[in-house]
Amino acid sequence: MTSLFIILMGVQGSGKGVQASFIRQRYGGIPHVSTGDLFRAMRTRQDDFARQIQQIMAEGKLISDEITCKVVEERLALPDAQNGLIFDGFPRTIPQAEWLQQHLASKGQKIGAVLVMQLDLYDAFRRAFGRVSAASGESFNIYSNSAGIDWKWVDHPDAKSNANEAHPARLEAHLKSSGERLIRRLDDANAHAIIKRIDAYLAETKPLIPFYAAQGVVHEIDASQPIEAVSAAIQTVLDHAQRSA
Ligand code: AMP
Rounded CA separation 235/145 (Å): 26
Tell me the best of 12, 16, 39 to mutate to test the pocket of ligand 1, counting ligand atoms within 8 Å of each CB and taking the most.
Answer: 39
Residues 6+ apart with CB under 8 A from 202: 11
Q: In this structure, what are the phi and psi dihedrals at residue 200, rounded to the nearest 5 degrees? A: -65, -40
pLDDT at 33: 96
d(CA 131, CA 133): 7
Report the DSSP beta bridge partners of residue 141: 131, 145
User: Ligand 1, closest atom to CA 35?
Assistant: 16
Tell me the mean pLDDT in the region 115-133: 95
> What is the tens place of the pLDDT at every residue in 188-244?
888 988 998 899 999 999 899 999 999 999 999 999 999 999 999 999 999 999 888
Q: Is 90 in the pocket of ligand 1 (CB under 6 A)?
A: yes
Alpha-carbon distance 192 to 219, whole Å? 30
Whole-angstrom distance, CA of residue 155 vs CA of residue 170: 6
Q: Are strands 84-88 and 32-34 parallel, antiparallel or unpaired?
A: parallel
Q: How far is the CA of 72 from the centre of ligand 1 (A)?
A: 12
CA of 10 to the centre of ligand 1 (A): 14
Is the distance from the beta carbon of residue 36 to the nearest atom of ligand 1 less than 6 Å? Answer: yes
pLDDT digits (tens, 9 = 90+) for 150-169: 999 998 887 766 555 677 88
**pTM for this model (two decimals):** 0.87
16 assigned to active site? yes
pLDDT at 153: 94
Annotated catalytic residue: which of 131, 176, 181, 196? 131
Out of 57, 59, 202, mutate this one to test ligand 1's pocket (max ligand atoms within 8 Å of CB): namely 57
Residue 161's pLDDT is: 62
Q: Please give the pLDDT value at position 97.
A: 98
Beta strand 111-118 with 139-141 is: unpaired
Mean pLDDT in residue range 119-142: 95
Q: Which of 192, 195, 197, 191 is nearest to 153 (CA)?
A: 191
Q: Which of 92, 107, 110, 170 is catalytic?
A: 92
Counting Cα atoms < 13 Å in the Cβ hemisphere of 173 gives 24
Identify the helix (H) or strand (E) that includes residue 35: helix 35-40
Q: Is the CB of 56 under 6 A from ligand 1?
A: yes
Does residue 109 carry a pLDDT above 80? yes
Handedness of CA 94, 99, 104, 108 (dihedral sign): positive
Residue range 107-111: average pLDDT? 95
pLDDT at residue number 1: 54
Which pLDDT score is estimated for 115? 98
Q: Is 89 in the pocket of ligand 1 (CB under 6 A)?
A: yes
Per-residue model confidence as pLDDT tens digits over 22-73: 999 999 999 999 999 999 998 888 899 899 999 988 888 899 999 999 999 9
Mean pLDDT score, 123-149: 95
Model pLDDT, residue 218:
98
SS3 230: helix
Cross-sheet strand order for the sheet of 111-118? 32-34, 84-88, 4-10, 111-118, 218-222
Contact 201 CB / ligand 1 (< 6 Å): no
pLDDT of residue 162: 57
pLDDT, mean of residues 99-126: 96
pLDDT of 94 higher than 80 = yes
**What confidence score (pLDDT) does residue 99 get?**
98
Ligand 1 pocket, residue 19 CB under 6 Å: no
User: What's the pLDDT score for residue 165?
Assistant: 62
Q: What pLDDT is attached to residue 60? A: 81
| Number of residues written out for the chain | 245
**Helix axes of 94-105 and 65-76: crossing angle, nearest 10 degrees:** 30
CA distances from 59 to 52, 62, 203, 236 (A): 11, 9, 17, 39
Delimit the domains of the chain by residue range.
Answer: 4-120+204-244, 131-175
Q: Which CATH class is domain 4-120+204-244?
A: alpha beta
pLDDT score for 156: 82
